[in-house]
Amino acid sequence: MSDSKNQLSKIPSLEQIVKLPKVMLHDHLDGGLRPQTIIDIAREINYEKLPSYDANELATWFRAACDSGSLVEYLETFEHTISVMQTEEHIKRVAREAVLDLARDGVVWAELRGAPELFTRKGLTIDQVIEATLAGYQEGEKLAAAEGLFIKTGSILCAMRQNNLALEIAEEVVKYRDQGVVGFDIAGPEDGFPPTRQIEAFEYLRKENMPFTIHAGEAFGLPSIWEAIQLCGTQRVGHGVHIADDIDFSSNPPKLGRLAQYVRDRRIPLELCPTSNLQTGIAQDYFGHPINNLWKLGFTVTINTDNRLMSRTSLSNEIYQCVKAFNWDLATIQEIVINAMKNAFTSVEVQNHIIENIITKRFAEILNN
């Protein structure tokens, strides 16, 4: 037992982290395209607005364009990715490659999210978008299995909070709940578009016993988180990083405000995305990100990528940056991965199976090698 504890206290390298089983709860499909795929499709459809048609240069451009410190400017880069996802085949390709890329990074459970309304510019129906996405995920799982990799995926359907399609998308979530759709979300600009604008959708989902998460506390403050939890009834908070604003860190020990204490004590999961949060101005560097303080205070922390293309990142990299900034050991990583799996939008049977037979066993195997 002591040898096992000693091993878990070790600080892992990036190479070790890649091999670890990981769980992703917050990853946008249209924010994780391969640069070369964008170029390939752009040429195929005669889309001439890309800033570069070299894959490496394009990847660099996306990361630089998103390092503005503004969520609004960050979101503008999606025009390019959305433009190349307007046919069923292109959506399938992007979804298939996303699952395979995540599997190669060691992700064993992935909830990918996208807003179907964004991919209907060329005539696709909402149903066609959803079905193409789900087909792509299934193809990606099969390709991963052919490489000896285990991954299971779930689809979260987003509604754009500035539009008025939330109830329609919520109905689609329920319609496809047994075909791979696992939950609902609202995304887009927070300021001026509080989650309560879509309250009818959330009431419908609760009546239908369907889980949902809400982007809140990413670029806007505590009122957004409070509304998402207390008025809309969200089961998880997308980002939620501004909950740190309700904590007095100058006090010893830090003093939690009423909302922060409620979020912590009710174990409401925070879908934190460190690199993305830095890009939208939450802190100057990883060491200044509140994720470690929130973890130490007992919040239900999960770690995610948000948009792998825009942040030029992977889940392994997100964890590695926290390892470097906060000296996270293997025990911490394992606990955070299990935290995420316990709060995945799937059955307890699936959660327990993946925790016991995939995550715990794989950590043990890696420690013993």
The catalytic position among 218, 227, 271, 318 is 218
Backbone φ and ψ of 310, nearest 5°: -65, -30
- The one-letter amino acid code at 157 reads L
Task: Return phi, psi of residue 57, to 5°.
Answer: -65, -40
How far is CA 135 from each of CA 106, 122, 124, 132, 232, rounded to the nearest angstrom? Answer: 21, 19, 15, 5, 31
Confirm whether 57 is a catalytic residue: no
DSSP-based helix, strand, coil % in the chain, nearest 5? 55, 15, 30
The Cα 70–Cα 243 span in angstroms is 19
Q: What angle (nearest 5°) sits at the alpha carbon of residue 310, between those of residues 43 and 330? A: 130
Distances (CA, A) of 57 to 53, 54, 62: 8, 5, 9
Question: Which residues have a Cβ under 8 Å from the Cβ of 244 and sit 6 or more positions away?
Answer: 260, 290, 293, 294
Q: Is the CA virtual torsion 357, 342, 221, 297 positive or negative?
A: negative
Choose among 261, 239, 236, 237: nearest CA to 248: 261
Residue 253 to residues 265, 287, 296, 297, 332: CA-CA distances in angstroms?
16, 19, 11, 9, 21
Please identify which residue in the block is written with the tokens 């409401």: 268
Question: Which sequence positions are flagged as catalytic?
Answer: 218
